[in-house]
Structure 1
Amino acid sequence: MHDLVIFDCDGVLVDSEPLSNQVLVDNLGRYGLDLTLEDSVGFFLGGTMVGVRDKARALGANLPDDWVDEVYAETYERLRGGVELMPGVADLLSTLDEKGIAYCVASNGSPDKMQITLGQNGLWGRLSKVAFSAHVLGTAKPDPTMFLTAAKRFNATAPVVIEDSQNGVTAAIRADMRCLAYAPQGNARKLADLGAQVFTDMADVPSLLGI
């Protein structure tokens, strides 16, 4: 049985990806790069903001040196306006609590972002001490370090990762961990091809975990 569940944050615990990507679309449009929401998700999902900056510049955006700080401020403002938990997450966490299975969150996003999104949904108090961020560790997915660090913290011998991005799945596979890929809106084939077991409903996770 798995002794630790490592959740990604954006798009897995909280439905923040549409809002965050709309900020990117709006912002990058001001700098000469016109993208659709679908374009933004396809180019940037699961990456770091530095990676987004570099990709956007390669695509033709004329971004200022302080762009990362600027877009973070705009993103945080939008997220403070309200972001929901992904459907079924609250029940899943309650089930893990009942079964005594540890869980944590590991995100390429910043602690400030997690505090905003998880805090307004009552989860930051439960996860703040077990929140792993690429901004703190200095290395981001698809590097497996964040997942390996989380497993070491919990002395976990059979961790499982729940992800929604190609970078996240790649990091889990590189860490030699089982990966469940949440794909309610599609993208299932790409995630499965990377080695993840795809699911579309959080209610399916307990059976996938064998609990």
Structure 2
Amino acid sequence: MDPRLPETDLVIFDCDGVLVDSEELSCRCLADAMVQIGIEMSTERALELFLGRSATALLDYCQGVGKPLPKTFLPELAVQVRETFRSQLKPIAGIAAVLGELHLPYCVASSSDLERVKFSLELTGLASSFGPRLYTSQMVKHGKPAPDLFLYAAGAMGAEPGRTLVIEDSVSGVMAAKAADMKVWGFIGGTHYRLADGSALLRQAGADRIFAAMNDFWNEG
């Protein structure tokens, strides 16, 4: 147990927007790819619709607007995102220090696929901090905002939901953590919140605390 985090046996970190500053980059790639196949989309709208969501949410949206995605769309998008990440992706400032000071078990639970999570963490130098403790929406039936992924991660780590703290940057992620009966802190330090009031969005979704810099992680326990 870490005395700075009372009644907490496990910390679950989302990946995109919490560990790596990827949300704006990936949604820009997504918006560009959707426009190319005739679906009107902007980076800002993509963030609003798909932030913290799995590929299933994207497929459902496109089906709903009468523009089902071609089979090549997701593989080609993954290549474009990887190329963009390789040249532009950076870790969230201060996250390495937080992980180094965290004296209790922690893991990742992400809506991204496992290969993308691994790639992002390796690219930003964070992979060694997590090892195999990576859980993704591919491993459960229902992605965020359903609680399945967080409950799966906590179970795999041997922690009770009520003694688990989740660090999330998306409305769907916060909702998923609350549905899992976990404490959740909303992080709004990613570049995708430059023009949006992330604090209001995440607090309305049920976040127990909001913070905007990893340097402030320990300011409240």
**Shorter-chain TM-score above 0.5:** yes
Match of residue 123 from structure 1 = 126
Measure, in 1, the Cα distance between the counterparts of 2:202 and 2:22: 20
Report the Cα offset of residue 22 of structure 1.
1.1
Q: Using the TM superposition, give the Cα deviation of residue 113 of structure 1 relative to its aligned residue in structure 2, in angstroms.
A: 0.2
- Identify the residue that residue 32 of structure 1 maps to in structure 2: 38
Amino acid at match of 1:14: V
Unaligned runs of 5+ in 2: 1-5
Please name the residue that 1:90 is paired with: 96
The alpha-carbon deviation at position 60 of structure 1 amounts to 5.4
Change (3 A) 1:77 1:136: farther
**Residue equivalent to 1:169:** 174
Which range moves more in the overlay, 85-94 or 68-77? 68-77
Structure 2 residue 51 is matched with structure 1 residue 45:
yes
After TM superposition, give the deviation of residue 57 of structure 1 in Å: 4.0
**Matching of residue 142 in structure 1 with residue 148 in structure 2:** no
**What is the TM-score with the length of structure 2 in the denominator?**
0.86
Q: Secondary structure at the match of 1:105?
A: strand
* TM-fit CA distance, 1:72: 2.0
Contact 2:188 2:211 in 1 (8 A): yes
How well do the aligned residues superpose, as a CA RMSD in angstroms?
1.7
Q: So what's the TM-score if we normalise by structure 1?
A: 0.90
SS in 2 for 1:81: helix
User: Pick from 106, 113, 116: which aligns with 1:113?
Assistant: 116
**Superimposed CA distance per residue, residues 148-199 of structure 1 (whole angstroms, 9 cap, x where no aligned partner):** 1222233224110000111111110011001001123232212111210221
2:80 counterpart of 1:77: no
- The answer to whether 1:192 aligns with 2:197 is no
Distance in structure 1 (CA, Å) of the matches to 2:69 and 2:152: 34
Is the contact between residue 14 and residue 118 of structure 1 (CA under 8 Å) also seen in structure 2? yes
Q: Is the 8 A contact 2:19 2:95 kept in 1?
A: yes
Taking only the aligned residue pairs, the percentage that are identical comes to: 34
* Correspondence for 1:182 among 175, 178, 187: 187
